Amino acid sequence: MSDLPVHLREDLTRVYTKFHHQEGIPKFKDFTTGRTMIDECELMCRLHRVSRSEADEYAALSYTRAIEAQEKNLLTDRVTIKVDADVIADKDYPMQPTSLDVLSKLNAVSTDFSKKWGLGNSPNKFGTVTAGNSSKIADGGAVVLISSEKKALDFGYQPLATIKDYVTTCHNPENDFLGGSVYAIAKLMKKNRLKFSDIGVWEIHEAFAAQIVYTLKCLNDEHFLQQNLNISESFGKLTPNDINKCGGTLAFGHPLSATGSRLINMACQQLKLKNEKYAIVCSCATGGQV
């Protein structure tokens, strides 16, 4: 991910890496809506009343949990990289402590969103998305080996967990681009007749802190579930204290495709450490998909 926004052949990389770097970040723009991820998040915040303070509060929680998990060596089994007998890395870097006070002082990335997209006056006129409450581009890697239990044992591997069920969802990205996690989780819960209290481990991708706030609000809103998913039953209450207990993508960074495998690895580890029965792992994709 350090090579973004340009990917080159190895021989060309050796030439171009001699050039000086220009400060900037790539603007990931979705082809279905023509909007950037930041614009999508700002639109979601305005349409569904997610405040800047709510986003910053959750971001601070994610960082705090990740640092605590690292200090307690809860992530060592999933982070340690060895070459022969030498430990190359046993922690995620960089991960600096932060606070709600620090996060609240950061400038919003976009302050003209309402005018730009013709939304008129907005309660979030100064913008919600900042560098502190958004996932950052990061280098990283993760792998998950999936097989039948028999085949794993045949090769001498002890399975970490069993995939009991999965769902995929897709909805209109124009109206709810970052809301896919809501639909996927609710669909899975209903399909398996589960309550939130039945799930011991939650690993939900944190693209933006505001996206997590919105996801929790919708999953706890019986009217939303009835109107948008035709689900009449309540799953109970899901709070920030229930999910991503070792921190999330906001703190660890987002190396795109590797994030999904990281979520699964962390869920497997937490299931074992806490002796829990069920985990839910959820990661969104482009175009309103999960």
| pLDDT for res 26 | 56
Nearest-10 Cα torsion for 156, 161, 164, 166 = -110
The residues, any chain, with a CB within 8 Å of residue 11's CB and separated by 6 or more, are none
- Give the up-direction half-sphere exposure of residue 9: CA atoms within 13 A in the CB hemisphere: 2
In this structure, is the dihedral angle defined by the CA atoms of residues 220, 226, 227 and 228, taken in order, positive or negative? positive
- Domains (range + CATH), the chain: 29-282 (3.40.47.10)
Hey, CA dihedral for 64, 70, 74, 79, is it positive or negative?
positive
Give pLDDT tens digits for 185-229: 999 999 999 999 999 999 999 999 999 999 999 999 999 999 999
Alpha helices in the chain (DSSP H): 10-16, 37-48, 52-71, 76-79, 100-104, 113-116, 149-154, 173-176, 180-191, 209-219, 222-229, 249-252, 257-274
**Cβ-based neighbours of 218, under 8 Å, separated by 6 or more:** 48, 179, 182, 224, 225, 228
Residue type, 265: N
pLDDT in tens, the chain (290 residues): 555 555 556 666 666 666 665 555 556 777 777 788 888 888 888 888 899 999 999 999 999 999 999 888 887 776 656 566 665 555 665 577 789 999 999 998 876 655 555 555 554 556 899 999 999 888 888 889 999 999 999 999 999 999 999 999 887 777 778 888 999 999 999 999 999 999 999 999 999 999 999 999 999 999 999 999 999 989 999 999 999 999 999 999 888 788 999 999 999 999 999 999 999 999 887 655 55
Q: How far is CA 288 from CA 38, 82, 136, 191, 284, in A?
A: 14, 38, 20, 21, 8
Burial of 270 (0-12, 13-18, 19+ CB in 10 A): buried
Please check whether residue 120 is in contact with residue 150, taking contact to mean a CB–CB distance below 8 angstroms. no
CB 185, CB 281: distance < 8 Å: no
Using an 8 Å Cβ cutoff, are 203 and 280 in contact? yes
Contact status, residue 241 vs residue 198, Cβ threshold 8 Å = no
DSSP 263: H
C-alpha distances out from residue 59 to 102, 129, 131, 174, 285, Å: 11, 11, 10, 26, 21
- How open is the CA angle 252-253-255, to the nearest 5 degrees? 125
Tell me the whole-structure pTM to 2 decimals.
Answer: 0.83
